[in-house]
Amino acid sequence: MGKRGSSGEGGGERRNQDRRRSDIGAALRRIETKFATVFRACPDLIAITARDTGRFIEVNDAFERIMGWTKPETIGRTSGELGTWESRAERDRMIAALGDATRLENFEVRFRRKSGEVFTALMSLEVVNLSGEPSLIFVARDINQRKAEEMLLRRSAEELERSNMELERFAYVAAHDLLEPCRTICSFAQMLERKHGAILDDEGREYLDFLVGGAQRMRDLIQGVLGYSRAGMAAAQMVDVDMDDLVKVVIADLGSALETRGGAIETGPLPVVRGDPAQLRQLMVNLIGNGLKFHAEDGRPRVRVAAESLEGEWCVTVEDNGIGIDPEYQDDIFGIFRRLHGPDRYPGAGIGLAVARRIAEAHGGRIWVESEPGQGARFRFTLPMV
Protein backbone atom coordinates (compact mmCIF):
# COMPACT_ATOMS: atom_id res chain seq x y z
CA MET A 1 0.00 0.00 0.00
CA GLY A 2 2.77 2.28 1.22
CA LYS A 3 4.88 1.19 -1.80
CA ARG A 4 2.07 1.83 -4.27
CA GLY A 5 1.45 5.14 -2.55
CA SER A 6 5.09 6.13 -2.88
CA SER A 7 5.29 5.00 -6.56
CA GLY A 8 2.13 7.04 -7.15
CA GLU A 9 3.78 10.10 -5.59
CA GLY A 10 6.98 9.46 -7.64
CA GLY A 11 4.93 9.28 -10.84
CA GLY A 12 3.23 12.58 -9.96
CA GLU A 13 6.63 14.20 -9.26
CA ARG A 14 7.97 12.95 -12.63
CA ARG A 15 4.91 14.24 -14.45
CA ASN A 16 5.40 17.60 -12.76
CA GLN A 17 9.06 17.63 -13.80
CA ASP A 18 8.12 16.68 -17.39
CA ARG A 19 5.55 19.46 -17.47
CA ARG A 20 8.07 21.98 -16.11
CA ARG A 21 10.66 20.85 -18.68
CA SER A 22 8.21 21.20 -21.52
CA ASP A 23 7.11 24.63 -20.21
CA ILE A 24 10.77 25.74 -20.14
CA GLY A 25 11.27 24.31 -23.63
CA ALA A 26 8.25 26.21 -24.93
CA ALA A 27 9.41 29.44 -23.24
CA LEU A 28 12.89 29.02 -24.74
CA ARG A 29 11.40 28.45 -28.19
CA ARG A 30 9.27 31.58 -27.80
CA ILE A 31 12.37 33.61 -26.81
CA GLU A 32 14.32 32.08 -29.70
CA THR A 33 11.54 32.95 -32.16
CA LYS A 34 11.41 36.47 -30.74
CA PHE A 35 15.17 37.01 -31.11
CA ALA A 36 15.22 35.38 -34.56
CA THR A 37 12.49 37.81 -35.64
CA VAL A 38 14.37 40.81 -34.19
CA PHE A 39 17.62 39.63 -35.86
CA ARG A 40 15.87 39.15 -39.19
CA ALA A 41 13.78 42.31 -39.15
CA CYS A 42 16.39 44.68 -37.70
CA PRO A 43 16.71 47.63 -40.14
CA ASP A 44 20.50 47.69 -39.61
CA LEU A 45 22.76 45.16 -41.27
CA ILE A 46 23.83 42.38 -38.87
CA ALA A 47 26.47 39.76 -39.74
CA ILE A 48 28.10 37.10 -37.58
CA THR A 49 31.45 35.68 -38.63
CA ALA A 50 33.76 33.05 -37.11
CA ARG A 51 36.70 34.87 -35.60
CA ASP A 52 39.33 32.30 -36.66
CA THR A 53 38.29 31.72 -40.29
CA GLY A 54 36.47 35.01 -40.97
CA ARG A 55 33.64 32.98 -42.58
CA PHE A 56 30.08 34.31 -42.39
CA ILE A 57 27.92 32.23 -40.03
CA GLU A 58 24.72 34.26 -40.22
CA VAL A 59 23.44 37.46 -41.79
CA ASN A 60 20.05 39.18 -41.56
CA ASP A 61 17.62 40.48 -44.19
CA ALA A 62 19.05 44.01 -44.03
CA PHE A 63 22.46 42.57 -44.96
CA GLU A 64 20.95 41.07 -48.12
CA ARG A 65 19.12 44.30 -48.91
CA ILE A 66 22.04 46.66 -48.23
CA MET A 67 24.94 44.57 -49.52
CA GLY A 68 23.12 42.87 -52.37
CA TRP A 69 24.47 39.39 -51.48
CA THR A 70 21.88 36.71 -50.63
CA LYS A 71 22.28 34.50 -47.56
CA PRO A 72 23.17 31.36 -49.58
CA GLU A 73 25.80 33.39 -51.47
CA THR A 74 27.23 34.74 -48.21
CA ILE A 75 27.19 32.04 -45.54
CA GLY A 76 30.40 30.00 -45.46
CA ARG A 77 32.39 32.63 -47.41
CA THR A 78 34.69 35.38 -46.16
CA SER A 79 34.42 39.15 -46.61
CA GLY A 80 37.62 38.95 -48.70
CA GLU A 81 36.00 36.45 -51.07
CA LEU A 82 32.88 38.60 -51.41
CA GLY A 83 34.79 41.91 -51.47
CA THR A 84 32.49 43.54 -48.90
CA TRP A 85 35.16 46.05 -47.79
CA GLU A 86 35.97 48.95 -50.08
CA SER A 87 39.60 47.84 -49.93
CA ARG A 88 41.90 45.69 -47.87
CA ALA A 89 43.33 48.84 -46.30
CA GLU A 90 39.84 49.73 -45.05
CA ARG A 91 39.53 46.33 -43.35
CA ASP A 92 43.03 46.70 -41.84
CA ARG A 93 42.06 50.12 -40.50
CA MET A 94 39.11 48.56 -38.68
CA ILE A 95 41.30 45.75 -37.28
CA ALA A 96 43.90 48.27 -36.08
CA ALA A 97 41.15 50.34 -34.42
CA LEU A 98 39.83 47.23 -32.65
CA GLY A 99 43.32 46.26 -31.42
CA ASP A 100 43.06 44.00 -28.36
CA ALA A 101 39.63 45.30 -27.44
CA THR A 102 36.50 43.20 -27.72
CA ARG A 103 34.26 45.95 -28.96
CA LEU A 104 34.29 48.83 -31.41
CA GLU A 105 31.51 51.40 -31.51
CA ASN A 106 30.25 53.77 -34.20
CA PHE A 107 33.25 53.37 -36.45
CA GLU A 108 32.90 54.89 -39.92
CA VAL A 109 33.82 52.39 -42.64
CA ARG A 110 33.56 52.10 -46.41
CA PHE A 111 31.84 48.94 -47.66
CA ARG A 112 31.30 47.71 -51.21
CA ARG A 113 27.93 46.35 -52.37
CA LYS A 114 27.68 43.37 -54.72
CA SER A 115 26.98 45.91 -57.49
CA GLY A 116 30.42 47.42 -56.87
CA GLU A 117 28.99 50.62 -55.38
CA VAL A 118 30.96 51.84 -52.38
CA PHE A 119 29.09 53.37 -49.43
CA THR A 120 29.81 54.71 -45.96
CA ALA A 121 28.47 52.84 -42.95
CA LEU A 122 28.56 53.41 -39.23
CA MET A 123 29.64 50.09 -37.77
CA SER A 124 29.77 48.58 -34.28
CA LEU A 125 31.47 45.29 -33.58
CA GLU A 126 31.57 42.92 -30.63
CA VAL A 127 33.70 39.81 -30.09
CA VAL A 128 31.55 37.08 -28.48
CA ASN A 129 31.55 33.34 -27.81
CA LEU A 130 28.77 31.61 -29.71
CA SER A 131 28.38 27.97 -28.58
CA GLY A 132 32.06 27.94 -27.62
CA GLU A 133 33.21 29.42 -30.93
CA PRO A 134 34.84 32.90 -30.86
CA SER A 135 32.78 35.02 -33.23
CA LEU A 136 32.36 38.59 -34.35
CA ILE A 137 28.99 40.34 -34.50
CA PHE A 138 28.91 43.29 -36.88
CA VAL A 139 26.05 45.79 -36.82
CA ALA A 140 26.21 48.52 -39.45
CA ARG A 141 23.99 51.32 -40.71
CA ASP A 142 24.13 52.70 -44.23
CA ILE A 143 24.78 56.44 -43.74
CA ASN A 144 25.55 57.21 -47.37
CA GLN A 145 22.52 59.45 -47.77
CA ARG A 146 23.34 61.34 -44.58
CA LYS A 147 26.98 61.73 -45.68
CA ALA A 148 25.91 63.01 -49.09
CA GLU A 149 23.56 65.52 -47.43
CA GLU A 150 26.29 66.61 -45.00
CA MET A 151 28.69 67.12 -47.89
CA LEU A 152 26.08 69.16 -49.79
CA LEU A 153 25.45 71.28 -46.71
CA ARG A 154 29.18 71.81 -46.16
CA ARG A 155 29.64 72.81 -49.81
CA SER A 156 26.78 75.30 -49.67
CA ALA A 157 28.10 76.73 -46.38
CA GLU A 158 31.53 77.15 -47.98
CA GLU A 159 29.99 78.71 -51.06
CA LEU A 160 27.94 81.08 -48.89
CA GLU A 161 31.01 82.07 -46.91
CA ARG A 162 32.97 82.66 -50.10
CA SER A 163 30.29 84.84 -51.65
CA ASN A 164 29.86 86.69 -48.34
CA MET A 165 33.56 87.45 -48.22
CA GLU A 166 33.45 88.61 -51.83
CA LEU A 167 30.55 90.94 -51.03
CA GLU A 168 32.32 92.29 -47.97
CA ARG A 169 35.45 92.88 -49.94
CA PHE A 170 33.39 94.65 -52.59
CA ALA A 171 31.70 96.86 -49.97
CA TYR A 172 35.07 97.68 -48.42
CA VAL A 173 36.76 98.54 -51.72
CA ALA A 174 33.76 100.52 -52.97
CA ALA A 175 33.54 102.51 -49.72
CA HIS A 176 37.28 103.04 -49.64
CA ASP A 177 37.38 104.34 -53.23
CA LEU A 178 34.26 106.51 -52.80
CA LEU A 179 35.61 108.23 -49.73
CA GLU A 180 38.27 110.22 -51.56
CA PRO A 181 35.98 111.96 -54.14
CA CYS A 182 33.40 112.44 -51.41
CA ARG A 183 35.94 114.23 -49.20
CA THR A 184 36.86 116.44 -52.18
CA ILE A 185 33.20 117.42 -52.73
CA CYS A 186 32.85 118.13 -49.01
CA SER A 187 35.89 120.33 -48.67
CA PHE A 188 35.28 122.26 -51.92
CA ALA A 189 31.61 122.79 -51.05
CA GLN A 190 32.71 124.11 -47.65
CA MET A 191 35.36 126.31 -49.30
CA LEU A 192 32.77 127.67 -51.73
CA GLU A 193 30.47 128.49 -48.81
CA ARG A 194 33.27 130.19 -46.86
CA LYS A 195 34.87 132.15 -49.69
CA HIS A 196 32.03 132.95 -52.05
CA GLY A 197 28.93 132.49 -49.88
CA ALA A 198 28.60 136.29 -49.55
CA ILE A 199 28.06 136.85 -53.27
CA LEU A 200 25.18 134.38 -53.43
CA ASP A 201 21.56 135.34 -52.83
CA ASP A 202 19.47 133.59 -50.13
CA GLU A 203 18.31 130.90 -52.51
CA GLY A 204 21.89 130.23 -53.63
CA ARG A 205 23.09 129.96 -50.03
CA GLU A 206 20.23 127.59 -49.22
CA TYR A 207 21.25 125.36 -52.13
CA LEU A 208 24.84 125.46 -51.00
CA ASP A 209 23.76 124.48 -47.47
CA PHE A 210 21.95 121.45 -48.88
CA LEU A 211 25.03 120.61 -50.91
CA VAL A 212 27.37 120.82 -47.91
CA GLY A 213 24.93 118.92 -45.63
CA GLY A 214 24.36 116.20 -48.23
CA ALA A 215 28.06 115.77 -48.92
CA GLN A 216 28.86 115.54 -45.22
CA ARG A 217 26.13 112.99 -44.67
CA MET A 218 27.39 110.96 -47.63
CA ARG A 219 30.92 111.07 -46.16
CA ASP A 220 29.60 109.88 -42.74
CA LEU A 221 27.71 107.01 -44.37
CA ILE A 222 30.72 105.91 -46.41
CA GLN A 223 32.93 106.09 -43.32
CA GLY A 224 30.28 104.02 -41.52
CA VAL A 225 30.39 101.34 -44.22
CA LEU A 226 34.18 101.28 -43.95
CA GLY A 227 33.97 100.94 -40.16
CA TYR A 228 31.40 98.17 -40.54
CA SER A 229 33.60 96.29 -43.04
CA ARG A 230 36.62 96.60 -40.73
CA ALA A 231 34.64 95.34 -37.72
CA GLY A 232 33.79 92.19 -39.66
CA MET A 233 37.40 91.28 -40.19
CA ALA A 234 37.95 88.57 -37.56
CA ALA A 235 39.06 89.93 -34.19
CA ALA A 236 42.66 90.50 -35.15
CA GLN A 237 44.48 90.72 -31.88
CA MET A 238 43.18 88.45 -29.10
CA VAL A 239 44.72 89.44 -25.76
CA ASP A 240 43.56 89.78 -22.14
CA VAL A 241 41.56 92.98 -21.87
CA ASP A 242 40.68 94.50 -18.52
CA MET A 243 37.19 95.87 -19.15
CA ASP A 244 37.48 98.15 -16.10
CA ASP A 245 40.44 99.98 -17.65
CA LEU A 246 38.86 99.92 -21.08
CA VAL A 247 35.62 101.54 -19.88
CA LYS A 248 37.63 104.25 -18.07
CA VAL A 249 39.26 105.12 -21.40
CA VAL A 250 35.86 105.10 -23.14
CA ILE A 251 34.42 107.45 -20.50
CA ALA A 252 37.37 109.80 -21.06
CA ASP A 253 36.75 109.59 -24.85
CA LEU A 254 33.10 110.49 -24.33
CA GLY A 255 33.99 113.37 -22.02
CA SER A 256 32.56 116.12 -24.22
CA ALA A 257 29.31 114.23 -24.92
CA LEU A 258 28.96 113.71 -21.16
CA GLU A 259 29.53 117.36 -20.41
CA THR A 260 27.23 118.78 -23.06
CA ARG A 261 24.43 116.43 -22.06
CA GLY A 262 25.05 116.74 -18.31
CA GLY A 263 25.15 112.95 -18.07
CA ALA A 264 26.66 110.49 -15.65
CA ILE A 265 28.16 107.04 -16.13
CA GLU A 266 28.37 104.51 -13.31
CA THR A 267 30.31 101.28 -13.58
CA GLY A 268 30.22 98.11 -11.52
CA PRO A 269 33.21 95.75 -11.33
CA LEU A 270 34.05 94.50 -14.82
CA PRO A 271 35.95 91.34 -15.77
CA VAL A 272 39.10 90.65 -17.73
CA VAL A 273 38.08 89.16 -21.07
CA ARG A 274 39.93 87.89 -24.09
CA GLY A 275 39.53 90.03 -27.15
CA ASP A 276 40.71 92.67 -29.53
CA PRO A 277 41.15 95.87 -27.42
CA ALA A 278 40.40 98.29 -30.27
CA GLN A 279 37.23 96.44 -31.27
CA LEU A 280 35.98 96.06 -27.69
CA ARG A 281 36.60 99.76 -27.14
CA GLN A 282 34.56 100.54 -30.25
CA LEU A 283 31.75 98.29 -28.98
CA MET A 284 31.64 100.09 -25.61
CA VAL A 285 31.86 103.56 -27.25
CA ASN A 286 28.88 102.70 -29.46
CA LEU A 287 26.72 101.37 -26.62
CA ILE A 288 27.59 103.97 -23.98
CA GLY A 289 27.47 106.75 -26.60
CA ASN A 290 23.94 105.69 -27.60
CA GLY A 291 22.96 105.54 -23.92
CA LEU A 292 23.96 109.20 -23.57
CA LYS A 293 22.44 110.22 -26.92
CA PHE A 294 18.96 108.69 -26.84
CA HIS A 295 17.47 110.45 -23.83
CA ALA A 296 14.37 112.60 -23.46
CA GLU A 297 14.89 116.31 -24.05
CA ASP A 298 14.27 117.26 -20.45
CA GLY A 299 16.15 114.31 -18.84
CA ARG A 300 19.77 113.97 -17.73
CA PRO A 301 21.23 110.80 -19.20
CA ARG A 302 22.45 108.16 -16.76
CA VAL A 303 24.27 105.09 -18.05
CA ARG A 304 25.20 102.10 -15.92
CA VAL A 305 27.75 99.52 -17.03
CA ALA A 306 27.89 96.20 -15.17
CA ALA A 307 28.86 92.58 -15.75
CA GLU A 308 27.83 89.22 -14.37
CA SER A 309 28.53 85.60 -15.20
CA LEU A 310 25.65 84.02 -17.10
CA GLU A 311 25.64 80.30 -17.93
CA GLY A 312 29.43 80.09 -18.17
CA GLU A 313 29.88 83.35 -20.11
CA TRP A 314 30.40 86.99 -19.16
CA CYS A 315 27.36 89.12 -19.77
CA VAL A 316 28.03 92.86 -19.93
CA THR A 317 25.08 95.23 -19.56
CA VAL A 318 24.91 98.87 -20.66
CA GLU A 319 21.72 100.32 -19.25
CA ASP A 320 20.34 103.83 -19.70
CA ASN A 321 17.37 105.88 -18.54
CA GLY A 322 16.55 107.16 -22.05
CA ILE A 323 13.66 107.01 -24.48
CA GLY A 324 13.62 103.20 -24.76
CA ILE A 325 12.85 101.06 -27.82
CA ASP A 326 9.61 99.49 -28.96
CA PRO A 327 9.95 95.63 -28.69
CA GLU A 328 8.84 95.44 -32.35
CA TYR A 329 12.14 97.03 -33.50
CA GLN A 330 14.53 95.45 -31.04
CA ASP A 331 16.04 93.10 -33.64
CA ASP A 332 15.85 95.56 -36.53
CA ILE A 333 18.08 98.17 -34.93
CA PHE A 334 21.11 95.85 -35.20
CA GLY A 335 20.85 95.96 -39.03
CA ILE A 336 23.08 98.33 -40.97
CA PHE A 337 21.51 101.81 -41.57
CA ARG A 338 18.49 100.95 -39.40
CA ARG A 339 17.38 103.99 -37.39
CA LEU A 340 14.18 104.72 -35.55
CA HIS A 341 14.65 108.51 -35.58
CA GLY A 342 15.44 111.22 -38.09
CA PRO A 343 18.91 112.82 -37.99
CA ASP A 344 17.55 116.17 -36.75
CA ARG A 345 16.60 114.99 -33.29
CA TYR A 346 19.33 112.34 -32.85
CA PRO A 347 22.29 112.56 -35.26
CA GLY A 348 23.86 109.35 -36.51
CA ALA A 349 24.34 107.08 -39.50
CA GLY A 350 22.62 103.93 -38.18
CA ILE A 351 25.79 101.89 -38.11
CA GLY A 352 26.80 101.82 -34.42
CA LEU A 353 24.70 98.82 -33.41
CA ALA A 354 25.47 96.86 -36.60
CA VAL A 355 29.16 97.31 -35.79
CA ALA A 356 28.51 96.34 -32.14
CA ARG A 357 26.85 93.13 -33.27
CA ARG A 358 29.70 92.25 -35.63
CA ILE A 359 32.25 92.82 -32.88
CA ALA A 360 30.33 90.78 -30.29
CA GLU A 361 29.91 87.92 -32.79
CA ALA A 362 33.55 88.07 -33.92
CA HIS A 363 34.40 87.49 -30.23
CA GLY A 364 32.11 84.45 -29.99
CA GLY A 365 29.33 86.34 -28.20
CA ARG A 366 25.75 87.58 -28.78
CA ILE A 367 24.12 90.97 -28.34
CA TRP A 368 20.53 91.96 -27.69
CA VAL A 369 18.43 94.67 -26.08
CA GLU A 370 15.72 94.58 -23.42
CA SER A 371 13.57 97.71 -23.35
CA GLU A 372 10.14 99.31 -23.30
CA PRO A 373 9.37 102.74 -24.81
CA GLY A 374 10.02 105.45 -22.23
CA GLN A 375 11.62 103.03 -19.80
CA GLY A 376 15.29 103.20 -20.85
CA ALA A 377 17.20 100.46 -22.65
CA ARG A 378 19.39 97.60 -21.42
CA PHE A 379 21.85 96.49 -24.07
CA ARG A 380 23.50 93.19 -23.17
CA PHE A 381 26.27 91.23 -24.82
CA THR A 382 28.10 88.05 -23.90
CA LEU A 383 31.75 87.15 -24.18
CA PRO A 384 33.36 83.78 -23.52
CA MET A 385 35.09 83.48 -20.14
CA VAL A 386 38.88 83.25 -20.30
Site residues, ligand ADP (CB under 6 A) = 286, 290-291, 294, 320, 322-325, 333, 338-341, 348-354, 377
List C-alpha distances in Å: 24 to 19, 21, 31.
9, 5, 10
Cβ at position 266, least distance to ligand ADP in Å: 15
C-beta nearest to ligand ADP: residue: 348
Nearer to ligand ADP, 85 or 228 (CB): 228
DSSP H helices, 50-198, are 61-67, 71-74, 79-82, 88-98, 144-196
> Closest CB to ligand ADP among 12 and 343?
343
- Which residue's CB is nearer to ligand ADP, number 49 or number 290? 290
Give the nearer residue to ligand ADP in terms of CB position, either 68 or 350. Answer: 350
Q: How far is the CB of 256 from ligand ADP (least distance, A)?
A: 17
Least Cβ distance, residue 239 to ligand ADP (angstroms): 26
**What number of residues does the chain have?**
386
CA distance 371 to 358: 21
Q: How far is CA 259 from the centre of its chain?
A: 43
CB of 195 to ligand ADP, least distance (A): 32
Contact residues for 358 (Cβ-Cβ < 8 A; gap 6+): 228, 231, 232
* Residue 224 CB-half CA count within 13 A: 20
Pick between residue 109 and residue 333 the one whose CB is nearest to ligand ADP. Answer: 333
Across-strand partners of 240?
274
Residue 289 CB, shortest distance to ligand ADP, in Å, is 8
CB of 384 to ligand ADP, least distance (A): 24
State the Cα angle at 102 between 100 and 107, rounded to 5°.
95
Phi, psi of 234 (to 5 degrees): -40, 140
Nearer to ligand ADP among residue 91 and residue 380 (C-beta): 380
